[in-house]
């Protein structure tokens, strides 16, 4: 292969690897900005992946499948929101419990539906959708504009989120609720409603991230298909400092590491593949170490709001 082709496919692959992380990370950042710490991103993604696969498998419709993925993610994020907002539960513990719940639940439902099979049931995957004209630009056209629908969708979401965070009253409200809920409340904002809305977005975006894995990338489902991507998305949120483009950048770095290690594994270097598999996680730790101390968490992150508390 020519070097330019190698580079192009590497970048294109990095973007594809980054998509689920970016989507789920964006959802989580909205949630965290409002003060809801949901470490159950893994659960959201897993449910998104499972339900979208099931619906695509039984109906053949990608539209319904993606919708089902969003609903699957929503079920998890809204359960978390209900427990954290209404019942003021410990948000970390709820998220953790949900991760195990989703793992067990999706595996169980999968087995119920298909039994023990030697061949994994699979569906066709959502194809690439090159954009006319733009896709014929050298290099950039190949990397950016010859991708699937999800890539464009993610980029669109990032832009919308950026406008929402920094140009609209809702963005200010979100910030206020996560930073100083009492101030938000006395200013006339409905703290709980805003947090539920944030959880809603978290579920939808995380569900999409999960749906991407089954309907676009793989075309099949298996136990623990997300394999820790939800946790990596949490890291992308911190690395990206809860800004949409920061998260996208962080997801691209981690996605790039992932794409690189796959290429190195198959390059036949004689080094055990497990070492390469560690690479994205090492990158993550290194990046976290470099950004220590520069982060500012929302002051009310993880703290339930109780107006009557004296």
CA nearest 35: which of 235, 268, 297, 308? 297
Is residue 187 a contact residue for another protein (CB under 8 A)? yes
Over its C-alpha atoms, the chain yields an Rg (Å, rounded) of 20
Nearer to another protein, 190 or 224 (CB): 190
Is residue 88 a contact residue for another protein (CB under 8 A)? no
Is residue 174 a contact residue for another protein (CB under 8 A)? no
Binding mask 284-303 for another protein (x = CB under 8 A): ------------x-------
Nearer to another protein, 168 or 269 (CB): 168
Binding-site member from 16, 33, 80, 175 for another protein (CB under 8 A): 175
Of the ranges 62-70, 112-120, 147-155, 168-176, which one interacts with another protein (CB under 8 A)? 168-176
Of the ranges 38-46, 163-171, 248-256, 284-292, which one interacts with another protein (CB under 8 A)? 163-171
Give the chain's length: 310
Is residue 182 a contact residue for another protein (CB under 8 A)? yes
Q: Kindly give, in sequence order, each residue whose CB lies less than 8 Å from that of residue 219, ignoring residues fewer than 6 positions away.
A: 122, 123, 124, 125
Give 122's strand partners: 220
| Pairwise CA distance, residues 258 & 266, whole Å | 13
Is residue 170 a contact residue for another protein (CB under 8 A)? yes
| Pairwise CA distance, residues 307 & 179, whole Å | 15
In terms of Cβ atoms closer than 10 Å to its own Cβ (0-12, 13-18, 19+), residue 158 is buried
Of the ranges 173-181, 196-204, 211-219, 277-285, which one interacts with another protein (CB under 8 A)? 173-181
| Pairwise CA distance, residues 221 & 218, whole Å | 8
User: Using CB under 8 A as the criterion, which residues of the chain lie in contact with another protein when the complex forms?
Assistant: 167-173, 175-176, 179-180, 182-190, 296, 307-308, 310
């Amino acid at each position: 292969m020519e070097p330019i082709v190698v580079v192009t496919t590497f970048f294109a692959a990095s973007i594809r690897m980054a998509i689920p992380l970016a989507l789920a990370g964006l959802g989580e950042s909205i949630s965290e900005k409002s003060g809801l710490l949901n470490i159950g991103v893994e659960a959201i993604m897993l449910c998104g992946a499972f339900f979208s696969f099931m619906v695509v498998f039984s109906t053949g419709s990608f539209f319904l499948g993606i919708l089902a993925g969003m609903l699957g993610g929503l079920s998890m994020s809204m359960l978390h929101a209900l427990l954290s907002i209404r019942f003021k539960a410990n948000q970390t513990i709820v998220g953790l419990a949900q991760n195990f719940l989703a793992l067990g639940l999706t595996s169980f439902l999968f087995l119920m539906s298909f039994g023990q099979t030697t061949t994994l049931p699979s569906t066709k995957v959502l194809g690439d959708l090159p954009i006319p004209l733009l896709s014929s630009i050298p290099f950039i056209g190949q990397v950016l504009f010859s991708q699937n629908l999800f890539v464009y969708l993610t980029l669109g979401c990032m832009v919308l989120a950026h406008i929402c965070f920094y140009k609209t009253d809702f963005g200010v409200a979100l910030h206020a609720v996560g930073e100083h809920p009492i101030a938000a409340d006395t200013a006339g904002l409905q703290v709980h409603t805003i947090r539920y809305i944030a959880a809603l977005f978290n579920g939808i975006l995380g569900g999409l991230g999960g749906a991407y894995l089954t309907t676009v990338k793989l075309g099949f489902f298996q136990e623990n298909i997300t394999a820790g991507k939800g946790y990596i998305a949490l890291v992308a949120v911190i690395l990206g400092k809860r800004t949409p483009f920061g998260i996208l950048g962080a997801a691209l770095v981690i996605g790039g590491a992932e794409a690189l290690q796959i290429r190195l594994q198959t390059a036949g270097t004689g080094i055990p593949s497990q070492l390469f598999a560690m690479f994205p996680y090492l990158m993550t730790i290194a990046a976290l170490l470099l950004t220590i101390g520069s982060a500012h968490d929302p002051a009310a992150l993880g703290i339930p709001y109780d107006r009557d508390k004296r």
